């Protein structure tokens, strides 16, 4: 407490701009520059087996509506609080994005973390991270060892005075939170004693280890707590009592909250002049107090507010915070009602089910549906949902256990318990003292409007800028798609183009477009707008896990089946290793999938630099590959393999051309010097090309890593776009051959867009070979900010664990 008083005095006598702006003005400026963004991830399940896929749909939320601020979302799978195993970057459309993590079957059993954020969310101060995080359990190759606290382990208990301080002469309301050493809530009861070892009062936790202690008028005593059932000499000290300060109390009221302020009038530094309420960095009310009064009461009307966390702060006349309290406003205006109907329910072997979702009135928004085998889930219900993510945990500092409970439990019990959450967790996004002392924090990285390409162009081989000229940009993606953009350089040869969307490994080709006057150019990129390194805050607390033996046996069976399918569970065999040739090693390093292995002709240009003397790779190939004919027409080329002149109506069929396994125009490949090609493969036909490449296929690979000697390819830039978004496989047993089916996720539909009146959405899926109980989860967000959250277990068979 002495440190807090010293901080107040230092702030009070600071000069300059400190008092030039009031707290509400600072907050309004900050909110206008950096609106709060929040994220919720709807996962198809809460637990997985290594080798399966995590499917997710993200909902981005800002100012009580779908987020229109950010265009790119970053989602990471983390082994612990700092180690990133996989990172996906996804485009955001209408405040949503979806994707997947394909889990390696080599993962060890344990709790993993998902972290999600936008660039704008990195605008934070003093390490207070507003990033989304949640735990996900993965059963893997190692035997599971429960990390939950063993019986008898020590109980930890924290005390939180209402308003921030216990003040001498006033009653004290003291919230507490008891946990085990792993941070999991532990219900307790005990006694409060003064330093004369006299009992003062008793206490009992109300929910998840939290409770409230009411202390009588505080004197000079120091207080401590003991817990029932523990050693009598184990004491837990209560916060120190301060001689100065104010006492506040907020209790539930039909119109919102009734507040009471108590203070002394002998020290103006510790007299409240006004209070401010803010939600999402927006000031929602202010009230001034009559000066010189020791006690003041009133009602904070919250019925007109949006639901969420309300931060109420009491300031003195010099705008210094004296006390603070969080409250939760739950007016339920955010709820979008919906009815799940089971039109055809069948738990039979691969049976067809038909459900429907019915909603009233006009519905415009994005929705997602997951249907899983409830028997394969460890939890009887989800511990996090769209309500808890966007209205509760996104604004609180610290770990909240099972936050979804506060939105599904009985209203009265949940309301009282939720108020304890407010008293035992701090506002996550800023501290008034630091905001007043330092001002608005520096702006963090800004959203770049999808993929943004920027750089500088020079004439090849010199530093002269390629100024005030048009360029042609070709984007060749791995899946064979190509797009074209025209851009113009400025006087210094710089260029910039934004709002581009492409996926996976791609090749950017920049070309002069002046026909016969075209020049070779060097392109120097300014960096990667999606994947540049950034310093990230630690995730902090990672919850422990425990596994029920019955469900562990089910997971083990699934893991063994996946491992067997992937060829891991083989009997011991003896292998005779044949040493590979240099050409085979180059082929392994550069090729993948259908491109790897044998070809009609393979030329290794890493270990043999015979193409180095050729400026045009096609000139080299025509001299080196028997049966290859190159026909040049200005800057255009056509290649024919082992074809004579044809009198067919179709004429000769040109070869399909692939550069780094991306189908590419011959005019682009012709600009690549032979010295920069690592590998050439010639095929008479190719199954992965359109129509099996009846004219043959030529695959070329540009040098990389230690093989790259620099220069030559300066107008071509490899670039990785957004992460590939895969489609969930749903079998159709009317059309497909029946095969063993042990899918744990029966249906995943992440991109449902509704825009109609009284919509009825049909939901159809096939059962697997074993499920007798379905868990259906439907979530969504409308354009007006209403949220749909339905979770329902369908089936009469009881869970066996």
What is the 3-class SS of 675-695, one letter each residue?
HHEEEEEEECCCCCCHHHCCC
The Cα–Cα gap between 460 and 426 comes to 58
Residue ranges of alpha helices (H) inside 283-425 are 386-391, 405-408, 411-424
Measured CA angle at 716 (ends 714, 720), to 5 deg: 125
Residue ranges of alpha helices (H) inside 504-605 are 549-565, 582-590
For the cut 50, the answer to whether the pLDDT of residue 342 exceeds it is: yes
The Cα–Cα gap between 335 and 406 comes to 14
**CA dihedral sign, ordered 460, 466, 471, 473:** positive
Give the global pTM: 0.81
Report the pLDDT value the prediction gives residue 8, as an integer from 0 to 100. Answer: 43
The Cα–Cα gap between 355 and 296 comes to 56
**What are φ and ψ of residue 474, in 5° steps?**
-105, 130
- Neighbouring residues of 148: CB distance < 8 A, sequence distance ≥ 6: 180, 182, 184, 544, 545, 546
Q: Which two tokens stand for residue 178?
A: 């008891």
**What are φ and ψ of residue 712, in 5° steps?**
80, -50
Report the pLDDT value the prediction gives residue 543, as an integer from 0 to 100. Answer: 77
- Give whole-number Cα distances, 372 to 40, 140, 419, in Å: 20, 20, 33
Report the pLDDT value the prediction gives residue 22, as an integer from 0 to 100. Answer: 82
- Give whole-number Cα distances, 123 to 74, 89, 119, 273, 674, in Å: 15, 19, 8, 31, 47
Lowest-confidence pick of 32-46, 64-78, 366-380, 706-720: 706-720
**Burial class of residue 430, CB neighbours in 10 A (0-12, 13-18, 19+):** buried
Q: Which two tokens stand for residue 348?
A: 């039979």
Strand partners, 698: 657, 682
Report the pLDDT value the prediction gives residue 801, as an integer from 0 to 100. Answer: 45
Convert the pLDDT of each residue in 146-179 to its tens digit: 555 454 578 999 999 999 889 988 988 999 999 9
Please report which confidence band the pLDDT of residue 569 belongs to, taking 50, 70 and 90 as the band edges: very low
Q: Which two tokens stand for residue 100?
A: 């997947």
- Give whole-number Cα distances, 599 to 18, 193, 580, 665, 719, in Å: 73, 85, 16, 21, 28
Q: Are 120 and 34 in contact (CB under 8 A)?
A: yes
The rounded mean pLDDT for the chain is 85
Q: Which two tokens stand for residue 466?
A: 């390629």
For the cut 60, the answer to whether the pLDDT of residue 646 exceeds it is: no
For the cut 90, the answer to whether the pLDDT of residue 563 exceeds it is: no
DSSP string, 449-485: SSEEEEEEEEETTS--B--S-EEEEEEEETTS-EEEE
The Cα–Cα gap between 42 and 56 comes to 5
Between 664 and 112, the higher pLDDT residue: 112
Lowest-confidence pick of 323-337, 415-429, 524-538, 656-670: 524-538
- Neighbouring residues of 555: CB distance < 8 A, sequence distance ≥ 6: 47, 49, 139, 376, 547
Average pLDDT estimate for 726-744 = 88
Q: Are 590 and 606 in contact (CB under 8 A)?
A: no
Q: Are 390 and 59 in contact (CB under 8 A)?
A: yes
Q: Are 222 and 240 in contact (CB under 8 A)?
A: yes
Q: Which of 286, 268, 272, 395 is nearest to 25 (CA)?
A: 286
Report the pLDDT value the prediction gives residue 39, as an integer from 0 to 100. Answer: 96
Residue the block writes with tokens 């004429």: 651
Measured CA angle at 288 (ends 285, 290), to 5 deg: 155
Q: Are 12 and 322 in contact (CB under 8 A)?
A: no
Convert the pLDDT of each residue in 83-98 to its tens digit: 899 999 999 999 999 9
For the cut 60, the answer to whether the pLDDT of residue 462 exceeds it is: yes
**Burial class of residue 682, CB neighbours in 10 A (0-12, 13-18, 19+):** buried
**What are φ and ψ of residue 37, in 5° steps?**
-115, 140
């Amino acid at each position: 407490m002495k440190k807090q008083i010293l901080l107040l005095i230092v702030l009070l006598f600071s000069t300059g701009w400190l008092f030039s702006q009031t707290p509400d003005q600072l907050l309004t400026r900050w909110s206008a520059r950096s609106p709060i963004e929040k994220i919720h991830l709807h996962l198809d399940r809460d637990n997985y087996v290594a080798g399966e896929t995590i499917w997710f749909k993200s909902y981005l939320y800002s100012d009580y509506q779908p987020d229109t601020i950010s265009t790119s979302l970053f989602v990471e799978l983390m082994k612990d609080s700092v180690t990133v195993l996989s990172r996906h970057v996804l485009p955001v459309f209408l405040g949503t994005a979806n994707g997947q993590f394909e889990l390696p079957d080599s993962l060890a059993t344990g709790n993993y973390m998902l972290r999600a954020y936008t660039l704008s969310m990195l605008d934070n101060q003093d390490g207070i991270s507003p990033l989304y995080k949640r735990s996900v359990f993965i059963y893997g190759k190692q035997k599971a060892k429960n990390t939950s606290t063993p019986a008898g382990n020590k109980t930890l208990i924290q005390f939180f005075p209402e308003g921030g301080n216990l003040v001498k002469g006033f009653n004290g309301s003291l919230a507490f939170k008891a946990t085990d050493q792993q941070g999991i809530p532990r219900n307790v009861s005990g006694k409060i004693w003064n330093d004369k070892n006299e009992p003062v009062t008793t206490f009992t936790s109300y929910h998840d280890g939290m409770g409230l202690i009411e202390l009588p008028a505080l004197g000079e005593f120091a207080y401590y707590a003991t817990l029932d059932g523990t050693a009598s000499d184990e004491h837990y000290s209560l916060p120190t009592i301060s001689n100065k300060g104010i006492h506040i109390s907020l209790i539930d009221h039909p119109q919102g909250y009734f507040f009471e302020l108590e203070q002394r009038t002998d020290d103006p530094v510790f007299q409240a002049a006004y209070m401010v309420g803010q939600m999402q960095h927006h000031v929602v009310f202010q009230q001034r107090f009559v000066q010189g009064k020791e006690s003041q009461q009133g009602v904070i009307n919250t019925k007109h507010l949006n639901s969420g966390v309300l931060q109420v702060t009491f300031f003195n006349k010099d705008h210094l915070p004296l006390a603070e309290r969080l409250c939760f406003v739950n007016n339920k205006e955010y709820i979008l009602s919906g009815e799940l109907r089971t039109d055809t329910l069948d738990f039979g072997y691969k049976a067809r089910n038909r459900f429907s979702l019915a909603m009233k009135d006009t519905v415009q928004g994005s929705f997602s549906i997951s249907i899983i085998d409830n028997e394969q889930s460890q939890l009887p219900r989800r511990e996090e949902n769209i309500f808890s993510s966007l209205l509760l945990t996104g604004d609180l500092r610290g770990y909240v256990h099972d936050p979804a409970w506060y939105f599904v439990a009985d209203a009265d019990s949940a309301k009282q318990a939720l108020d304890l959450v407010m008293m035992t967790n701090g506002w996550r996004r800023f501290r008034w003292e630091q905001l007043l002392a330092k001002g608005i924090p520096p702006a963090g990285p800004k959203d770049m409007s999808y993929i943004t390409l920027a750089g500088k162009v020079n004439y090849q081989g010199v530093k002269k800028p390629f100024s005030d000229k048009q360029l042609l940009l070709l984007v060749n993606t791995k899946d064979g798609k190509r797009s074209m953009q025209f851009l113009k350089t400025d006087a210094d040869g710089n260029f910039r183009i934004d709002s581009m969307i492409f996926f996976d490994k791609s090749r950017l080709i920049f070309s002069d477009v002046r026909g016969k006057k075209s020049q070779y150019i060097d392109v120097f990129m300014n960096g990667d707008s999606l994947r540049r390194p950034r310093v990230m805050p630690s995730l902090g607390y990672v919850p422990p896990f425990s596994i029920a033996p019955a469900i562990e046996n089910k997971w083990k069976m699934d893991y063994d089946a996946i491992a067997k399918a992937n060829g891991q569970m083989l009997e011991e065999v003896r292998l005779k290793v044949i040493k590979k040739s240099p050409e085979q090693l180059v082929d392994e390093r550069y090729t993948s999938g259908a491109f790897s292995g044998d070809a009609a002709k393979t030329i290794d240009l890493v270990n043999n630099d015979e193409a180095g003397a050729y400026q045009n790779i096609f000139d080299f190939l025509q001299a080196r590959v028997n049966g290859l004919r190159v026909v040049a027409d200005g800057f255009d080329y056509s290649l024919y393999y082992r074809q004579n002149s044809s009198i067919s109506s179709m004429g000769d069929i040109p070869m399909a051309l692939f550069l780094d396994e991306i189908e590419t125009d011959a005019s682009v490949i012709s600009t690549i010097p032979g010295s920069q090609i690592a590998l050439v493969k010639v095929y008479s036909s190719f199954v992965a090309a359109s129509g099996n490449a009846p004219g043959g296929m030529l695959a070329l690979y540009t040098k990389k890593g230690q093989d790259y000697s620099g220069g030559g390819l300066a107008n071509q830039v490899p670039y990785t776009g957004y992460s590939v978004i895969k489609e969930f496989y749903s079998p159709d047993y009317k059309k497909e051959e029946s095969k063993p089916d042990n899918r744990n996720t029966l249906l995943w539909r992440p991109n449902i867009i509704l825009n109609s009146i009284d919509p009825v959405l049909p939901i159809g899926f096939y059962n697997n070979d074993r499920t007798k109980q379905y868990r259906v989860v439907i979530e969504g967000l409308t354009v007006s900010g209403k949220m749909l959250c339905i979770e329902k277990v369908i089936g009469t068979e009881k869970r066996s664990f």
